[in-house]
Structure 1
Amino acid sequence: MDTQSTYSGYSCHSERSRDHRHGERSRDRHKSRSKDGQLDKSVTIQPAPGDPLLGDAGARGEHVQDDTWGETTTAVTSERSLSREDVARIAKDLEDSVGLDCRRCSTLALAAVLGVLVFLTPPAFLALPHLLWPERLRSCGTACEGLFISVAFKMLILMIAVWALFFRPPRAGLPRLFVLRALLAVLVLLLVLCYWLFYAVRILHSQDEDYRGIVQFAVSLVDALLFIHYLAVVLLELRQLRPCFSVCVTRSTDGHTRHYDLGRLSIQRAASAVLERYYSHFPVHNPTRIAASKSRTAKHLAGLKVYDVDGDFPAASAEGPPGNNARAGLGHSQSRAMIAAAARHRDAGHNELYYEEAEHERRVRKRRARLVVAVEEAFTHIKQVQEEEEEEEKKKKAPGDTMDPREAAQAIFPSMARALQKYLRSTEQQHCHSMETIQQHLAFCIRNNMSPQAFLESYLTPGPVLRYAQDGRPTCRWTLLSEASVTGGLKDGTVFLLRCVDFSLVVSVKEIPYIRMSEEYVDPKSHKFVLRLQSETSV
């Protein structure tokens, strides 16, 4: 009976929540229909297709980590049902991923066709005369035959250079076309078409008998392709190495800021470079700390009380019941009194905040000491067991049951689990580490004979976002919002946003100033002086 009542209560609550979400989404759709005249300038940077999205409920696993794993050392699994809106959102994400796959496949197909056309053109120039009019060709000679070796090695060098520059896995899916790469592809296509047109008119049509000139014509094409590859290296790689802009990246929730130097890039490529540095340099986002700060502010504001000394208005309190008719009639003077009381309460609340932070630091130091002692004792026990096994092997006795590093980690983990859980809660890192990841790291340290300090470093010193990524590769869908065109270059004063599920990165660009330096000549004689001595002085 209790189970049935609990289940029915949960279903009613879920139905009410779904109705509430449906009402909110219908209002959002109504608002979006009322703003048809506005232009949406947001574009999306998507991850590689097939990877799960960070923050996407449809891509996360069904295992939920219990917050009390230090006491129970168990994991709880939960089942949840998807509403109609969730299914529609997942279907939209699948459509977006299919669109990205189609665009990426079409780009790869065009690049493959262009590459095959480029690398087959010089051999075709050399082979067609032998296939169409071999009896009319004049002898090539020794110098002409040496050009075959030149063409072969140049084609090999060009193939390796193209593989090194273009055949690299993409690190981001850009929302718009890469203009410089598209211009280079068009330039290569125009060059090959011009050579084919000249070859068809001057050689195929007239059936030229000078085979040496045909070979030199093919050599000139390969040289032109090598020069275009050099141009691609300059435009795509060397041009962005020289820093021209200083970008300030600020996380919207906690205000964490980093500064980076970038070269002359487009806005979308600058956004990709910022995101690459974000995963390596920014600390992991901690929503627990932000929620605690908001709750502390709300608690301070909830305790405000305002008393009317003049008697013009009734006394008001922030703790009073809502819907009071007397509070509805307050005037501007009452509002000013509320603001003044809030200011006085803020000045008096800094004392409380100071003691709260001091108490928190004391608690963190205490729990850190307990954690260090527990980990050192566990590692000492492992070391003693290993020494006993080595002694038994030396005495040629039958060793006991040997354990692999995984089993050893599971054996000593309960002795340190409670201290580690309390420390992670105190430092608000419990959302970054699960029981499974901690045991994997512990087994890794045991396998490689690492010290207790090496094991604790991952928890005593928080790392960047990349350390806490799932499966070793962080995947997230970022939305780029910019007033300027994302294919345009960076300029002084450019501001754009990179929005994720829980926060945004605000990027502001400043151009590095031009340094004007002048020289001023210093006469060496200006440093000399004359010391005049007088007989009356003691010098």
Structure 2
Amino acid sequence: MDTESTHSGYSYHSSRSGRSNRHGDRSCERHKASSSKDSSRSERSVVINPPDTPSQDSPVHNGEPLPGEPTPAAEQGDEAQDDNWGETTTAVTGTSELSVSQEEVVGLGKGIQDRTQSFRRYLPLAVGSCVGLLVLATPLVFLLLPAVMWPDRLQVCGAACEGLFLSISFKLLILLVAVWALFLRPSRACLPRVCVYRAFLITLTLLLTMSYWLFYGVRILDAQDEDYHGIVQFAVSLVDSQLFVHYLAVVLLELRQLQPCYSVCVIRSTDGETRHYNIGQLSIQRAALSILEYYYRDFPLHNPALLSASKHRAAKHLAGLKVYNVDAPGNAAGAQPSNGNQSRAMVTAAGKRKDSAHNELYYEEADYERRVRKRRARLVVAVEEAFTHVRRMKKEDERATPSDIMDVREAALAIFPSMARALQKYLRTTRRQHCHSMESIQKHLAFCLVNNMSPKAFLEAYLVPGPTLQYGPERWMADQWTLVSEASVTSGIKQGTEFLLKCLDFSLAITIKTIPYIRLTEEYIDPKSHKFLLLLQSETSV
């Protein structure tokens, strides 16, 4: 089979080189082409069986192929000659029970990644809950242990202990609410590193609690102190210390970042959309989180369709530059020019076309603006007519019976077809048709009808591109951001800090600058210096 395919290729080459023998060898080529087609067809339908089971397509006799059947070496050679075997070959192999396919490996990795993200998301909440329970339970245990272990030996403290009990109760209640408000909130994002201040506060709380436990075990439990008033005051001092630690947490986690210290410049890489924000003293990862929150609120939705116009214009410009080689081999003009001559020819042609490129851009933008204004006018007229029809229907419903009154959802579905075509053409012209689905448009239309809004209020969501949060969560890509920074993400931002927030389709380049120190001086102006005297002559006509 190898010899036949090689011979047919040689005869085909010789038939092209020698044009005089083309008609004589045509029948031979047809025969060889059919034989090579049959051989390739047989090669592309190879079935690989398990080693212990015989093939059903090729019968064997005592483990050996029958006469006329190709040998395994010949089958391997034929498979090597076929370049597209991977697209058409069906392989049935014997697999072990412990083998895992590639799809299962990918699914296993994705499941592990999802579990890891969930673990990292709820780990701070679990740690905060455990520390909060330890903080709240420790003063109560300090009060209960002596009363349980040696109740007969305790000295009665009377009204003084009752006042301290009341103080501890209210302080623990305040501390419980404060811990819930500051530490037990659900996390807004999953950061790559642990917050330094939060870890410091948790460590400080644990050290403080363990120190009190150590002193309590040595001085009170071992000695079996009988002064219950002193034990109650010891528990009160622990609660006071915990309240001060919580105050420190409020200062470090909430108040420290409120004063603006830095100016942040955020630039989107694809369209150059730029915003500036003022932030306080934050770490790089906390600053990135704040910037992403500002991004979803202030930046318009990223629309890759608007970027295709410049790419199409550049491709069109390059497609118009063609260099024809008139001195190719076989022509009588001469030898083929060098690559340097071709490059100079292309540069010269590009320089000639550069003078007319701005005219093409001007007329393209003018035509685009004209089409947008035309589509917008049609859309505005269609929406106004639809809302006018709805108002007329409302007046008719006031005189109709309750059974004939139409629901707001039904009214939105009834008037939507009258404006759907104009809205669809406008969204296609502005390349924002993928941002709005039919269901979202109908829902927005029903919302406007329920609240008795004007047509302009309905059109504002489609005429002006809104922020990212205005659209569906599938447009946000909220869980696909990557922080790229040369410095450690737990270090604080400073003058000249630069980092990158990468997404699936674009990235945000962030540059940090310090807000300059402002010095104001006062200058006193005497009120009498503003007074002047105006003398008018009697001859002057005023």
Q: TM-score range by the shorter chain?
A: 0.7 to 0.9
Alpha-carbon distance in structure 1 between the residues aligned to 2:134 and 2:183: 16
- The question of whether the paired residues in 2 share the 8 Å contact of 1:147 and 1:215 is answered with yes
Counterpart residue type for residue 435 of structure 1: M
1:42 counterpart residue number = none
After the TM superposition, which residues 48-447 of structure 1 pair with which residues of structure 2 at under 5 Å, given as runs? 91-305=108-322, 326=336, 329-331=338-340, 334-393=342-401, 400=404, 402-447=405-450
Q: Which one has a bigger Cα radius of gyration?
A: 2
Aligned residues: 431
Counterpart residue type for residue 138 of structure 1: Q
- Aligned to 2:369, the other structure's residue is in SS state helix
- Aligned to 1:242, the other structure's residue is in SS state coil
The reply on whether 1:467 has 2:466 as its aligned counterpart is: no
**Higher mean displacement: 375-384 or 279-288:** 375-384
Cα 1:482–1:109 change in 2 (3 A) is: same
- The question of whether the paired residues in 2 share the 8 Å contact of 1:389 and 1:399 is answered with no
Alpha-carbon offset, residue 109 of structure 1 = 3.0
- Aligned to 2:434, the other structure's residue is in SS state coil
Cα 1:219–1:520 change in 2 (3 A) is: closer
Structure 2: unaligned runs, 5 residues or longer: 1-82, 88-100, 329-334, 531-542
Question: Cα deviations across residues 424-465 of structure 1 (Å, max 9, x unaligned)?
Answer: 111111110111111111122122222211111110111001
Alpha-carbon distance in structure 2 between the residues aligned to 1:459 and 1:103: 39
Alpha-carbon distance in structure 2 between the residues aligned to 1:471 and 1:290: 20
Cα 1:496–1:314 change in 2 (3 A) is: farther
Alpha-carbon offset, residue 306 of structure 1 = 6.3
Alpha-carbon distance in structure 2 between the residues aligned to 1:404 and 1:520: 66
Runs of 4+ residues deviating >6 angstroms:
84-87, 313-316, 471-474, 520-524
Alpha-carbon offset, residue 87 of structure 1 = 6.9
Alpha-carbon offset, residue 343 of structure 1 = 3.8
Counterpart residue type for residue 238 of structure 1: L
1:29 counterpart residue number = none
Alpha-carbon offset, residue 519 of structure 1 = 5.4
Cα 1:360–1:91 change in 2 (3 A) is: farther
- The question of whether the paired residues in 1 share the 8 Å contact of 2:120 and 2:190 is answered with no
2:52 counterpart residue number = none
Cα 1:315–1:95 change in 2 (3 A) is: farther
Alpha-carbon offset, residue 114 of structure 1 = 1.6
Alpha-carbon distance in structure 1 between the residues aligned to 2:520 and 2:342: 64
- The question of whether the paired residues in 2 share the 8 Å contact of 1:376 and 1:452 is answered with yes
- The question of whether the paired residues in 1 share the 8 Å contact of 2:468 and 2:476 is answered with no
1:476 pairs, out of 470, 476, 479, with 479
Question: Cα deviations across residues 186-235 of structure 1 (Å, max 9, x unaligned)?
Answer: 00000000000000000111111111111111111001000000000000
Alpha-carbon offset, residue 255 of structure 1 = 0.8
Cα 1:424–1:520 change in 2 (3 A) is: closer
Question: Cα deviations across residues 163-198 of structure 1 (Å, max 9, x unaligned)?
Answer: 111122211111111111011000000000000000
Cα 1:442–1:193 change in 2 (3 A) is: same
Alpha-carbon offset, residue 151 of structure 1 = 0.7
Counterpart residue type for residue 191 of structure 1: L
Alpha-carbon distance in structure 2 between the residues aligned to 1:258 and 1:292: 24
Question: Cα deviations across residues 365-394 of structure 1 (Å, max 9, x unaligned)?
Answer: 11111111111111111221221121234x
Alpha-carbon distance in structure 1 between the residues aligned to 2:474 and 2:483: 25
1:499 counterpart residue number = 502
- The question of whether the paired residues in 2 share the 8 Å contact of 1:306 and 1:341 is answered with no
Counterpart residue type for residue 350 of structure 2: A
Alpha-carbon distance in structure 1 between the residues aligned to 2:439 and 2:122: 37
Cα 1:260–1:171 change in 2 (3 A) is: same
* RMSD value, Cα: 3.1
Alpha-carbon distance in structure 1 between the residues aligned to 2:142 and 2:208: 14
Alpha-carbon distance in structure 1 between the residues aligned to 2:348 and 2:524: 63
Alpha-carbon distance in structure 2 between the residues aligned to 1:209 and 1:511: 60
Alpha-carbon distance in structure 1 between the residues aligned to 2:499 and 2:102: 30
Q: Percent identity?
A: 61
Counterpart residue type for residue 492 of structure 1: Q
Structure 1: unaligned runs, 5 residues or longer: 1-15, 21-83, 308-312, 317-324, 529-539
Alpha-carbon distance in structure 1 between the residues aligned to 2:387 and 2:131: 60
**Higher mean displacement: 273-282 or 505-514:** 505-514
Alpha-carbon offset, residue 305 of structure 1 = 4.8
Counterpart residue type for residue 114 of structure 1: V
TM-score by length of 2: 0.74
Alpha-carbon distance in structure 1 between the residues aligned to 2:512 and 2:106: 34
- The question of whether the paired residues in 1 share the 8 Å contact of 2:125 and 2:184 is answered with no
Alpha-carbon distance in structure 2 between the residues aligned to 1:289 and 1:482: 29
Alpha-carbon distance in structure 2 between the residues aligned to 1:421 and 1:86: 40
Counterpart residue type for residue 242 of structure 2: L
Alpha-carbon offset, residue 154 of structure 1 = 0.7
1:451 pairs, out of 447, 450, 454, with 454
Alpha-carbon distance in structure 2 between the residues aligned to 1:473 and 1:251: 15
Alpha-carbon distance in structure 1 between the residues aligned to 2:475 and 2:316: 40
Question: Cα deviations across residues 343-370 of structure 1 (Å, max 9, x unaligned)?
Answer: 4423311111111111111111111111
2:95 counterpart residue number = none
Alpha-carbon distance in structure 2 between the residues aligned to 1:109 and 1:356: 59
Alpha-carbon offset, residue 520 of structure 1 = 8.6
- Aligned to 1:431, the other structure's residue is in SS state helix
- Aligned to 1:298, the other structure's residue is in SS state helix
- Aligned to 1:505, the other structure's residue is in SS state strand
Counterpart residue type for residue 283 of structure 2: S
Counterpart residue type for residue 339 of structure 2: L
Alpha-carbon distance in structure 1 between the residues aligned to 2:481 and 2:243: 37
Counterpart residue type for residue 365 of structure 2: E
Alpha-carbon distance in structure 2 between the residues aligned to 1:252 and 1:473: 17
